[in-house]
Amino acid sequence: MRTEFGDLSVFDIAALPSPDRKKTGLLIGIGPTLVLPTATSTRAGQGAWQAGPALGMIYSGVPGLLIGFIAQNPISFAYTLPSRPPQNTFELQPVLAIHLWDKWYLRSAEANWTVGWHHDSSTMLPLSLGIGRTLNRRGLPPMSLFVTGEWMV
């Protein structure tokens, strides 16, 4: 068994000034997503430079509930080898957090749903569920500790 490094995925979403989050509870952001072919073997990565749009939305207008998503669609434009196939994959990361009691919460935010737009591309729909607790420390930012499991649908 070998351990390999995969491709590096990066996105940067900037919050839009409208709508007013304090009035609507909605925060929307857009930006770019990039995939850099940094895999240490051909099996560990897609072998393609990729770029595309990213969109994020979070709704926090209901007390104790946070719901949203991050959507990305990187598309290949250059390859590390001529034999590498084109890439065009839609990725959706749903986010859900529900306050339970005191500083405890239920969350689902780690699963990345993927749909390949090319023929014979795979579709994956994992579900995640976890429980966490927020720790408030005097003079320091809050810290969140959580445990999450993930299952493939």
Residue 14 lies in a domain: yes
Residue 145 lies in a domain: no
Question: Minimal CA–CA distance to 47: which of 56, 58, 35, 59?
Answer: 35
Domain of 40?
8-96+110-127
Strand, helix or coil for residue 21: helix
- How big is the CA angle at 64 (ends 56 and 135), to the nearest 5 degrees? 90
Residue 76 lies in a domain: yes
Q: What is the pLDDT of residues 47-86, one digit of tens each?
A: 899 999 999 999 999 999 999 999 999 999 988 888 888 8
Residue 104 lies in a domain: no
The pLDDT of residue 119 is above 80: no
Residue 137 lies in a domain: no
Q: How far apart are CA 106 and CA 148, in angstroms?
A: 10
Q: What is the pLDDT of residues 8-56, one digit of tens each?
A: 999 999 999 988 888 899 999 999 999 999 988 888 888 899 999 999 9
